[in-house]
């Protein structure tokens, strides 16, 4: 289908098409045909960015701290697979704060920069700075400096402020020392940013480790080993338990599948992570919605610690033969 045909469908309409689709071949022929424009839109956008900046693929890759192959794949329509990657591209494109937030929401389908997140507050600081280079390298270097600030001066009284108050304070900062002081003074709100998300995940983990009588059926490590969790996902649970997790979108989705959540459960996690719900306009996420809804329709979702849902979703992904899904399949 061309752009004109696709423009008839809004996100809600496509979502309804996905959840009411009951056949893999129909998903491939009807829904993926509509969603091909997601890649085309991105292909056009990254082409505009490279044209507007006048940067070579080599220089753009250097600014994003990725390989030249990655940039070539983007130019061919491959979608970046993490929010951080869109931030890298936004820096390389020379976006200001408003443009970065618009880029994250429209093309990354993720939340705009959030002042209660340590990483995001540093990113906001760099984008607002009138003296520092607006580059990803500046951001990561300053982030490490800020993290050192979090580990020091723990005797300072932590302050509870509204998000609006924190935004106003951050806007007034101009030096690295002021940023470090801001981090130390507001370390508790930053750490609590994902508290509800972590509690939600741990509650589901407990569901998966408890039988119908309320008795514990084993340990997380035994469950993860039996269901073949990836080492990176096991590490996520360790960080969640320690209250130190910084969620990535694809890891949130992968955890939801491993913890046997339905679409509503996964979307709740994404919202708690300050992210958009599963996006039916994204081919990979549309396939997740289709697979999980199909599993639910066939009464195959149980919070019993098994890896059956992951295997079911993986099998559907293989039948669909969807490109750009390896990052998710690897975690399943």
Cα dihedral 286, 291, 294, 299 sign: negative
Section 167-178 average pLDDT: 82
Q: Write the pLDDT tens digit of every residue in 255-282.
A: 999 999 999 999 999 988 877 788 887 7
What is the percent of the chain where pLDDT is above 90?
42
The residue that leads in pLDDT, 22 or 252, is: 252
User: DSSP states of 76-140 as a string?
Assistant: TTPPP-SHHHHHHHHHHHT--HHHHHHHHHHTS-SPPP-TTSHHHHHHHHHHH-SSS--SHHHHH
- Mean pLDDT over all residues of the chain? 84
Q: Is the pLDDT confidence value at 23 over 80?
A: yes
Residue 9 has which token pair? 């469908």
Q: Is the pLDDT confidence value at 93 over 90?
A: yes
Length of the chain: 332
Q: Write the pLDDT tens digit of every residue in 295-308.
A: 999 999 998 889 99
Q: Write the pLDDT tens digit of every residue in 74-88.
A: 999 888 877 889 999
Q: Is the pLDDT confidence value at 230 over 70?
A: yes
The pLDDT assigned to 153 comes to: 46
What is the percent of the chain where pLDDT is above 70?
86
Section 98-114 average pLDDT: 86
Q: Is the pLDDT confidence value at 151 over 80?
A: no
């Amino acid at each position: 289908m061309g752009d004109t045909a696709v423009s008839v469908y809004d996100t809600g309409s496509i979502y309804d098409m996905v959840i009411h689709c009951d056949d893999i071949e129909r998903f491939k022929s009807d829904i993926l045909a509509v969603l091909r424009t997601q890649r085309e839109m991105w292909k056009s956008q990254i082409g505009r960015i490279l044209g507007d900046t006048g940067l070579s693929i080599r220089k753009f890759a250097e600014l994003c701290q990725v390989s030249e192959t990655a940039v070539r794949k983007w130019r061919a329509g491959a979608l970046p697979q993490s929010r951080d990657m869109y931030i890298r591209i936004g820096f390389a494109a020379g976006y200001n704060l408003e443009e970065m937030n618009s880029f994250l929401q429209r093309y990354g389908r993720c939340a705009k920069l959030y002042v209660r997140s340590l990483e995001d507050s540093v990113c906001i600081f760099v984008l607002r700075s009138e003296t520092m280079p607006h580059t990803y390298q500046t951001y990561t270097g300053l982030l490490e400096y800020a993290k050192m600030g979090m580990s020091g001066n723990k005797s300072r009284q932590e302050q509870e402020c509204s998000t609006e108050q924190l935004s106003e304070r951050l806007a007034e900062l101009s030096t690295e020392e002021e940023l470090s002081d801001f981090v130390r003074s507001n370390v508790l709100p930053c750490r609590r940013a994902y508290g509800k998300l972590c509690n939600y995940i741990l509650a589901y983990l407990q569901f998966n480790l408890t039988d119908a009588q309320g008795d514990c059926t084993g340990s997380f490590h035994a469950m993860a080993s039996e269901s073949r969790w990836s080492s990176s996902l096991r590490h996520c649970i360790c960080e969640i338990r320690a209250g130190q997790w910084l969620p990535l979108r694809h890891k949130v989705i992968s955890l939801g599948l491993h913890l046997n959540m339905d679409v509503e459960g996964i979307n709740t996690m994404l919202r708690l992570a300050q992210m958009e719900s599963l996006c039916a306009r994204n081919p990979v996420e549309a396939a997740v919605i289709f697979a999980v809804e199909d599993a639910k329709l066939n009464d195959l979702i149980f919070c019993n610690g098994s890896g059956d849902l992951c295997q079911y979703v993986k099998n559907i992904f293989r039948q669909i033969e969807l490109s750009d899904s390896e990052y998710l399949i690897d975690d399943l």
